[in-house]
Amino acid sequence: MSMANSLEARAPLLDHKLIEFVVNIPLELKMKGLETKYILKRAMEGIVPREILYREKQGFGVPIGEWINAQLRARIRSDLNDRQTFERGYFEKSYIQTLLDEHSKQRRDHSSALWSLWMLELWHRKFVDH
């Protein structure tokens, strides 16, 4: 997902020599109060702009809702409406259908619930059924 969003997410600070050095840095230089990476931030002052160096962490979302309504629509509907899925007794068919319909008509965002249900179903098929 990081590369799909043009983000460099590899960990560049994992050189074994650097890690061996950092392990020996006193804790009070690694963290000051609730501020983490204290010594790294101090070392980068004047090099990295303050607004970047001290900003809050930023994540990026995964477009699950969009996937459910587009690229994965047929697969998710097929898997979650499969006879085998309901024979286990985990899911209520009418409720699953309501989630799928409301989500596809953009009445409500059920992406988190649908994704979780689908992942449970796929997990069950891989590790329990087979």
Give residue 12's pLDDT band: very low, low, confident or very high (50, 70, 90): low
Tokens 């988190």 — which residue?
112
Largest pairwise CA distance in the chain: 63
pLDDT over 70 (residue 23): yes
CA separation for the pair 61, 1 (Å, rounded):
9
From the CB of residue 72, how many other CB atoms can be counted at a distance below 10 Å?
A: 16
Give residue 57's pLDDT band: very low, low, confident or very high (50, 70, 90): confident
* % of the chain residues with pLDDT over 90: 58
pLDDT over 90 (residue 3): no
CA separation for the pair 2, 49 (Å, rounded):
23
What phi, psi does 45 have (nearest 5°)?
A: -60, 135
pTM for the predicted model, two decimal places: 0.59
pLDDT over 80 (residue 112): yes
Per residue in 36-48, pLDDT tens? 889 989 999 999 9
Name 45's bridge partners. 48
From the CB of residue 37, how many other CB atoms can be counted at a distance below 10 Å?
A: 14
In this prediction, residues 90-97 reach a mean pLDDT of 94
